[in-house]
Each structure stands twice: as C-alpha cells, then as structure tokens.
Amino acid sequence: MDNLTICDRCGSDACYVQEVSPEVTNYLCYGCGFLSNSLMTEGSEFLTLQAEILPELYKDLMITDEHGKVWMPNMVNQPDKGMVFAQGTNRSEWRWTGVKAVPVKEKEKKKYPKPGKKNGYYEFRMDMSTAKYFEEKDFMEALEYIGIFQA
C-alpha cells in the first residue's frame, strides 16, 4: 500500500505512507521533511540503534507523536542532483540546507575514488558553494532547489 495521508507530526496532507511488509510501514512527510516508521517507537531497539549513528541535531529534533511514533528529519542524497539535510546547533536554531551536485572534472577524478572499486571514480560531487538555506516548513522547496522533481 502506497498512500498520501495526513502527517501525525505536522498535520500536512503530504505524508507519503509505504507498507514495506505487514510489520513495517514507512512515513515520509513532504510537508515537514520528517520521517518515521512503525519500528521507530520510544525505547525500541530499532530506534536505539538508529540514534547511535545520528548527528546530535537529528536526535535533538526527534519528536514522538500521539500514536507513539518517533519522527526525525529526513536526509536526501541524490548523487547526480544534490543533498538536503537539517543543519544547525539545536532544536530552536536549525534549517534545511540544499546543496547541488556538480560533475567531477576529468582532472579531479582521482580526488573522488569509489571505495572498493579499482579505478572507479564518482561522476558527481556535492558543491558546498551552492548551499542554500530553507526554513523548517520549506522542505519541498529545498528538494525543488536541488532538482528532485525534475526528470
């Protein structure tokens, strides 16, 4: 089942729901940019393991909805388009950052090797000089900035 529904975090009508299995359902809200799934509940082993590798800001921004699901900011990394991620110092001082991908020039390829690939190099890199900042409610604008909605 893939479906758009009302987000339990922000109330937007742009929450994409995807049933992965009878036990796991993913939630990604394009309104607020946060995600959750049926395994991400307070005190769950799954959430504990996820939290171990998350940046402090992402842990600080986690919120539990009235149904017990824990929501955290999404991070989008589309190698040929760019990245969108939460950036800031704490819950009250953060925003979305969009960074565009640019082609790696032939003379720079050796700076961008693919791990485990002999003579394999990335074709694109993230160009931090293109960083653009978006307010909390502007996640979709950040995705649009890096070209996610373009073919």
Q: How many CB atoms lie within 10 A of CB 70?
A: 22
User: Residue 117 above 80 pLDDT?
Assistant: no
Residues in a beta bridge with 90: 93
Q: Which helix (H) or strand (E) holds 140?
A: helix 139-146
What is the rounded distance in angstroms from the CA atom of residue 110 to the CA atom of residue 49?
35
Q: Which of 93, 74, 88 is nearest to 142 (CA)?
A: 74
Residue-wise pLDDT tens digits, 68-102: 999 999 999 999 999 999 999 999 999 999 999 99
What is residue 51's DSSP assignment? H
User: Residue 150 above 90 pLDDT?
Assistant: no
* Mean pLDDT over the full length of the chain: 93
What is residue 114's DSSP assignment? P
Residue-wise pLDDT tens digits, 12-50: 999 999 999 999 999 999 999 999 999 999 999 999 999
Q: What is the per-residue pLDDT for 58?
A: 97
Q: What is the per-residue pLDDT for 77?
A: 96
Q: Are 50 and 41 in contact (CB under 8 A)?
A: no
User: Residue 151 above 70 pLDDT?
Assistant: no
Q: Are 62 and 74 in contact (CB under 8 A)?
A: no
Q: Are 36 and 27 in contact (CB under 8 A)?
A: yes
Q: What is the per-residue pLDDT for 23?
A: 92
Q: What is the per-residue pLDDT for 1?
A: 54
User: Among residues of the chain, what percentage have pLDDT more than 70?
Assistant: 98
Q: Which residue has the tokens 């073919």?
A: 151
Q: What is the per-residue pLDDT for 119?
A: 74
Q: How many residues are present in the chain?
A: 151
Query: pTM for the full model?
Result: 0.89
pLDDT class of 113 with cuts at 50, 70, 90? confident
What is residue 122's DSSP assignment? -
User: Residue 63 above 70 pLDDT?
Assistant: yes
